[in-house]
A and B are shown apart, each in its own frame.
Chain A
């Protein structure tokens, strides 16, 4: 059963005047962060605390003959050493937690600690807990592991060949999607021209400044309590399953997260410290080093994406065939879903009636891959937007014109047959971004060429609708007119918590500084779901809005009795309640609260917001709805390419996104600018080089991030169609902000040098090689 009715009615508030929504208010978490008062997971210490370290595999593919921990156990100060033999259960569920309607192949979950075989270099083998960190480190060196080499495979292409070493039974293909719409083969025959291209993306690291960290202890009620930097407090369920504990005996206390970007979506340190705390009955702390973080947490999936597109001479796209192959690394984790995001956005925001998409995620002996801001849709955009420029080039048409001719419009459908229900302002976004680049920069020297590039995108916000997503929030007024919000949302830096405060401030007419938000606690705050999938403003924002509106309704009714007017005439602002139509009728909010309290009227509300629920896709052709809605936008850049060194500098960057409504424009601009900077790193610098299973970029000295010297002048243009499904008509922009930057840069480089580098990142070596190839052929 499909229940999408309310999608056509965005949640636009019936509030007379917006006083706090839409203003760039200072975030409620800001002062704690700028004064250093904010406590992150690694900042907590406890009495009697032990320090943990994890032993990591030195081989990418090997059988484990023996692990001898006797010397480590004998080291004075070492309190426990755990291997797979000490575990109550051997696997951790790596599927998306806390949802219904998911399914994946049995037996593909990752081991907590490897016991018979290691599948990537850096896989966990043992956990040590000791009185001091140095002792734990020393103990790791005393553990003897005897490996026996096992055949390995390092590329998806090899892993798909018959006879390849098997990383995941039966054939290394851990996920597959096939999307069929119309008849692409037949439509291709009607085309005047067929344009083909293959585009490749690399492994990249989330590189949040805060490495993974947590501290676990068993409390006086025998509850395993884990204070951890995580995007997902609902992992308490999979932790309970892995440790064979009842779900109400695991309590996750999330912290403010020092950057997530998808990298703290899977379980990180929780099981290691949980196991050690259960074993020792002492608090156990574990903080990854930067090297451990890069080595052992998930990476963004590298993709190889091949497009074959049939077009008419006038530029209309008739048919598209796309093949996508993703490297899932050694374990499945979220690969099936990342692959679905990539596959269903593979042709981009373009109207194409005949589409065939085949997508595969393939296991290798590389570091496992999973969520990363953009979640497959970003990789798809790298390919489809470069390919649009190639189509334009083949037709001798401008990049803007080929896009304009083919953009989807409201009411058109995706390759899965899902209709775009809200505003689709693709052309407007592209024009605004492009125009914002202004006059072209003159080349500073003859050997520098200037180029410009554009990329449009569509990206979902909110989770896959057959996950049956919900969020809850509690909003209450205290007697002094201050507000408490309780909502399980983890704040990963995007202003997730502040958004809830700003919504409640608006609805109840209370200043921001009088609001306290309790968040990210699996036991003490109502569960709000994961901070992933650009869903919290949409989901928890709506839950908070509903809860605040319920409180407002009760208060307004009581106030209308008092003033002898209609409830609709009552309004709230500056901690005062008043009749909009009669300035003499007003009272302090505290007085109204006291009136309600005296009569036992509720001043608080717990609300659950439910996303649209759909059935799974048709298994034969993947037809069906997948997401609640989409965000659209465009990125334009100007680059300077040094034709002698191949160095690329981004000179100007302009982004234009329709965010529905900017609840806090400063937060929206922050997401867009930060996303663009990450996209710049993706395009030009970042590359986790894994060669024969060995990570050659173990730290920030080798893994290059954009610095203050690398980011260009930026222009951000926010459009507000008001048609989003979030509160006040807002759309999510957290992930979309990153998506179009890398292909825009790639297109600008091609525009400058007249040749295309089809593999990210666009390093000086690759750019020079393309220049030389171009000159050779010219």
Chain B
């Protein structure tokens, strides 16, 4: 297999990398240092590697990296930082939605995609949107609460 030169745009940074055609986006991102994207199963069962590609939540382990060329990739580290957290990140921290924290980056990115699409999701919409993200610690209830709270916050913010 011959490596291919690929340009990836991650969290508004641009990377030129040589990648094998079969390299997954998960593997490429982690090799670039985006270790906030977690690897839990490498086959799309757990959702720990969820990132946004052009605003759509995808399992980075199921996408080939070169297919993401020219698209905007957003990981949880690009969403906010401890100085300037996104309301979802603040709410996850405040509501105890992160225990071991390993599913959290992917969970927050799935929640972000949901709220971008549906700013005031119903409980059923929320459950469905998160059903591809496994959490073994929390039992999900704190996560639902955090997302509901963040949604309210974001709606207030957007009304200015």
Q: How far is the CB of B39 from chain A (nearest CB, A)?
A: 7
Are the CB atoms of A30 and B93 closer together than 8 Å?
yes
List, in ascending order, chain A residues with CB within 8 A of B140's CB: 677, 708, 711
Are the CB atoms of B101 and A258 closer together than 8 Å?
yes
Q: Most A CB atoms within 10 A — which of B30, B40, B88?
A: B40
Are the CB atoms of A670 and B135 closer together than 8 Å?
no
Are the CB atoms of A210 and B102 closer together than 8 Å?
yes
The 8 A CB mask of A33-45 against B (1 = contact, 0 = none) is: 1111111101100
Q: How many residues of A contact B (CB 8 A)?
A: 56
List, in ascending order, chain A residues with CB within 8 A of B36's CB: 35-37
CB within 8 Å of A: which B29-53 residues: 30, 35-43, 45-46, 48
List, in ascending order, chain A residues with CB within 8 A of B82's CB: 31-32, 35, 37
Q: How far is the CB of B27 from chain A (nearest CB, A)?
A: 9
Does B156 make an interface contact (CB < 8 A)?
no
Contact of A36 with B134 at beta-carbon distance under 8 Å, contacts A26-B94, A30-B93, A669-B96 already known? no
Are the CB atoms of B100 and A34 closer together than 8 Å?
no
- Complex alpha-carbon distance, A495 and B97, angstroms: 12
Q: Most A CB atoms within 10 A — which of B39, B100, B133, B141?
A: B100
- Complex alpha-carbon distance, A650 and B105, angstroms: 28
- Complex alpha-carbon distance, A711 and B142, angstroms: 12
- Complex alpha-carbon distance, A135 and B37, angstroms: 24
Are the CB atoms of A705 and B134 closer together than 8 Å?
yes
Does A182 make an interface contact (CB < 8 A)?
no
Are the CB atoms of A708 and B98 closer together than 8 Å?
no
List, in ascending order, chain B residues with CB within 8 A of A257's CB: 100
List, in ascending order, chain A residues with CB within 8 A of B76's CB: 34-36
Are the CB atoms of B42 and A207 closer together than 8 Å?
no
Are the CB atoms of A711 and B141 closer together than 8 Å?
yes
- Complex alpha-carbon distance, A32 and B138, angstroms: 17
- Complex alpha-carbon distance, A675 and B135, angstroms: 12
Are the CB atoms of A674 and B85 closer together than 8 Å?
no
Q: How far is the CB of A689 from chain B (nearest CB, A)?
A: 17
Does A727 make an interface contact (CB < 8 A)?
no
- Complex alpha-carbon distance, A709 and B96, angstroms: 20
**Which of B2-10, B65-73, B123-131 is found at the contact surface with chain A?**
B123-131
Q: How far is the CB of B52 from chain A (nearest CB, A)?
A: 13
Does B139 make an interface contact (CB < 8 A)?
yes
Q: Most B CB atoms within 10 A — which of A34, A39, A256?
A: A34
List, in ascending order, chain A residues with CB within 8 A of B92's CB: 30, 33-34
Contact of A701 with B102 at beta-carbon distance under 8 Å, contacts A30-B93, A673-B142 already known? no
Contact of A208 with B131 at beta-carbon distance under 8 Å, contacts A35-B77, A674-B99 already known? no
B138 is contacted by which of A35, A43, A670 (Cβ under 8 Å)?
Answer: A670
Contact of A495 with B136 at beta-carbon distance under 8 Å, contacts A36-B75, A290-B40 already known? no
Shortest 5 CB-CB distances between A and B: which pairs? A36-B36, A493-B100, A33-B101, A258-B102, A677-B139
Known: A43-B35, A714-B141. 16 other contacts (CB 8 A): A31-B89, A34-B85, A34-B97, A35-B76, A35-B81, A37-B77, A42-B35, A43-B30, A208-B136, A259-B102, A259-B137, A289-B42, A290-B40, A670-B138, A675-B139, A701-B45
Binding site for B on A (CB under 8 A): 24, 26-27, 29-40, 42-43, 206-211, 256-261, 287, 289-290, 492-495, 666-667, 669-670, 673-678, 699-701, 705-709, 711, 714
